[in-house]
Amino acid sequence: MSASDDVDRPAPAIRPFAPDSPRERPPSLPKQPLSPPERRSAPAPAPARRDLPVSTLRLTASVTGIVAGGVAAFLVGPLADGFEPFASIRDAQRGDGYTVVMVSVIWVLAGALLQTPIAVLRRAPIGPGLAGLAAVLGYHLVIAVLMVPVAAYGPDYDPDYGGDDPAAAYPAFLTLVLFGFSLLAVTGCTFVSPPPADGPGSVQRRRASETLGLADRLAGVAALSWLCGILFVPAMVFDVVTGAGVPFVPAEQTWILACGLILAMPFALVAAVVVAGGRLRGWKTSASMTKRGFGPAFLFTVAATLLGGALFFSQLGRVFPRGMVTGLTLLAALAFALIGWRVVVHRARRGGLLEKPR
């Protein structure tokens, strides 16, 4: 075979691949319809915790404690007839004040006795709750001691006086400033259930929520109780100051000192609350009020001016007759009101609360 034969021979045709034997044929997969991916069902949720029985127990305990306090209102009187120290407490608090204080204390004790086991079932912290109950009992003790002079020098009930008897101010004040705290205790609200603890630092946040939650409840009850109870404070202060007398103040002019003390108390109270809130809770109210010209220092100055002026004019009774002292006191009060109004307007304009005149 020559080289020319290789050149003239045509090239073999290229044919598509077709395996000659079944062994060389790739296996064919059976055609199956496409099915959606299998979905894994989520685990069944845990059965919800049934709080109804615990809530029912808590409500039952609250009603039982309140009813016990109501029954005690009828029993504490005969109890003080022959038993100590109840007789001494009734003598110090007067009959109406003694009943209010004893009923309120019984509510607090009923809350400690009945609501503590229920707080265990609620998984509420027991330590802060008992500390709150102890604080409420201490508050009752302080109020009861402070009210002894009011009970001693306050007016007694007069059946012929009518519905506006000033003697009602004392038991009304005690009811407003005590019953809010005792109802908080008897209903188990001192046992605060904190949020669940999850994540880093959750234990510290849980403890903080326990303390702050209880503190917020006590502060809210205190604010509401005293905003209502302070309406009866002027009448009681006037009765105590004029009835008990004040050293170095003439007896006929004690009403001047009582009026000055009544007018000074709101300014001093607001200033004290603002300062305490800034120190204990980090309120920015003090700085904001100072920026606008009505900070705690200004309020304390107004209170001191009112009290000092009342003390000064009450001493004039040693030199001048009573009618002249009364006239001078009224003129001084009018002058103080006019000057105070000018000062308030000036500070309000300087602090941006009022527009300056063009």
CB 181 within 8 A of CB 225: yes
Residues 222 and 283 occupy one common structural domain: no
- Looking at residue 253, its pLDDT comes to 82
CA 58 to the chain's CA centroid: 22
Give the N- to C-terminal CA distance of the chain in Å, as an integer: 126
Last residue of a domain, one of 185, 213, 244: 244
Residues 262 and 184 occupy one common structural domain: no
Distances (CA, A) of 207 to 29, 132, 198: 65, 14, 13
- 101 burial type by CB count under 10 A (0-12 exposed, 13-18 middle, 19+ buried): buried
Distances (CA, A) of 125 to 111, 130, 191: 15, 9, 6
How many CB atoms are located within 10 Å of the residue 341 CB? 10
CB 142 within 8 A of CB 101: no
Residues 179 and 222 occupy one common structural domain: yes
Instruction: Tell me the mean pLDDT per 10 residues along the chain, length 358.
Output: 54 54 54 57 54 76 87 77 77 83 90 88 85 91 86 68 66 90 90 62 53 76 85 78 73 84 85 75 70 82 90 86 87 91 85 71
Residues 221 and 272 occupy one common structural domain: no
Task: Give how many domains the chain has, as a whole number.
Answer: 2
CB 278 within 8 A of CB 286: yes
Asked if residue 80 is part of any domain, the answer here is yes
Element (H, E) at 93: helix 86-121
- Looking at residue 347, its pLDDT comes to 84
- Looking at residue 51, its pLDDT comes to 47
Residues 260 and 239 occupy one common structural domain: no
Distance separating alpha carbons of residues 302 and 284, to the nearest angstrom? 22
Residues 222 and 271 occupy one common structural domain: no
How many CB atoms are located within 10 Å of the residue 114 CB? 19
Residues 170 and 61 occupy one common structural domain: yes
Residue 107, domain extent: 53-156+165-196+203-244
235 contact partners, CB below 8 Å, separation of at least 6: 166, 169
